[in-house]
Amino acid sequence: MKRKLVLQGKHCLMSAIPKKWINQQGLSKGDYVEFEQLENYLLVSAKPLPKDKSIKISLKKAERIGIIRLIQMLYDAGFKKIDFDFLDKDILNYIVEVSEWFEGSTLSNIKSSSCDLEFYDAEMDFANYFRKVFLNSLELPVLFSELLSGKNKIDEINATVKAVYRGSMVVKRKINTSQLPLEYKYYYFISIQLEEIADQYLFLLKYLKEMKRYPKILLQLNNKLRDLFKETYDNFYRFKLDWFIASERGLIWKWFETEEEPLTVYHLRAISERIKNIMKYTIGIAYK
C-alpha cells in the first residue's frame, strides 16, 4: 500500500501507520514501535527486534560432509553463534576447515573438546555483491577453457570455486535473514545454481586429473558453454525476452546430446541445465 509523506514542522516528514495493523498489534497512543533499516527497506515492528540467534550442539561422532552440511544449514538460517562440544578430535579439524568457507567467521574458545564458531554480518550493497558472485562464476568456464588449451589454471579454478561458494552463501543468508521483497527468492535460487555450476567444474577437474589427454570435444563444448553463460549474465542485467525465446528455439541444449566422452560431457550438460534455470529465474525477476 502507498502512504503519502506529510511535512510536519520544518524538517520532519510523517506518514500514518495503517489502522488495521495497529489493531492487530494491540497498539494505542503512547506505545513504542521498533524500526530497522534493511538495505533500501524499513522494517516496523511492534515488539523488540529478535536478538542474534545462537545454538549449542554436542557431537559424539561426525563425518566431514555431515559437519559441512550442518554448518551451512545454520549459516543459511541466520545463526550468529554455534557452540560446539565434541568427543572426536577430528571434528575440530573439520570445523576449522569449514569455517574458512564463510565470510566474517571467527573461531574462539578453542579447546580439545569444544569451540565457538561466530559469524559477523557486515553491511553490504546487495545488488553489487550479487553481481560480484555472478562474475566470479563466469570466470570458471573461461579458466577451464584455458586449462584445456594447455595453461596451468588449476589453482585459479579452485580459488574461484571457493569464492563462488563463499559469495553465494552470503547472498542466501542475507535473503533468509532480511525482510526483502518476495522476488528476491529468485536471487536465492540463482545462487544455488551458481554453487552447483562450481560443483560441476570441481568434478570435471577431478576427472581430468585421471585422464592422459583432453578430448577436443570438451574444449569445443566448454567454449560454447562459456559464451552461453556470458550471454545469460548480460540478459540478466539487460533483459530481453526475445533473446530467451531465440535461445530456446535454437536448441542449444542439443549440443550436449552426444555419446562422445559421455562422462565429461555429462558434467557440461549439467552446467547447461543450471544456466537454463538461471534464464527462467531471470524472467521471474524481470516480471515481478
3-class DSSP string for the chain: CCCCCEEECCCEEECCCCHHHHHHHCCCCCCCCEEEEECCEEEEECCCCCCCEEEEEEECCCCHHHHHHHHHHHHHCCEEEEEEEECCHHHHHHHHHHHCCCCCEEEECCCCCEEEEEECCCCCCHHHHHHHHHHHHHHHHHHHHHHHCCCCCHHHHHHHHHHHHHHHHHHHHHHHHCCCCCCHHHHHHHHHHHHHHHHHHHHHHHHHHCCCCCCHHHHHHHHHHHHHHHHHHHHHHCCCHHHHHHHHHCCHHHHHCCCCCHHHHHHHHHHHHHHHHHHHHHHHHHCC
Residue 42 — very low, low, confident or very high, per pLDDT cuts 50/70/90? low
Cβ neighbours around 27 below 10 Å, total? 14
How many contiguous H segments (helices) and E segments (strands) does the chain have? 9, 8
Question: What pLDDT shows up at residue 168?
Answer: 94
Model confidence at 23, in pLDDT bands (50, 70, 90)? confident
Beta pairing, strands 41-45 & 114-119: unpaired
**Pick the residue with more confidence: 84 or 60?**
84
What backbone phi and psi angles, to 5 degrees, belong to 132? -65, -40
What's the mean pLDDT in 186-211? 91
Please name the amino acid found at residue 37.
Answer: Q
Digit-coded pLDDT (tens) for 55-73: 998 888 778 888 888 888 8
Whole-angstrom distance, CA of residue 274 vs CA of residue 98: 25
Give the 3-state secondary structure of residue 67.
helix
Measured distance CA(236)–CA(222) in Å, rounded = 21
User: Residue type for 156, please?
Assistant: E
**Of all residues in the chain, what percent carry a pLDDT higher than 70?**
92
How sure is the predictor about 50, in pLDDT bands with cuts at 50, 70 and 90?
low
Three cell numbers written together for 264: 565429461
For the entire predicted model, the pTM comes to 0.76
pLDDT tens for residues 158-183? 999 999 999 999 999 998 887 777 77
Strands 53-59 vs 41-45: parallel, antiparallel or unpaired: unpaired
The three-state secondary structure class of 16 is coil
pLDDT band at 39 (very low <50, low <70, confident <90, very high): very low
C-alpha–C-alpha distance, residues 32 and 50, integer Å: 16
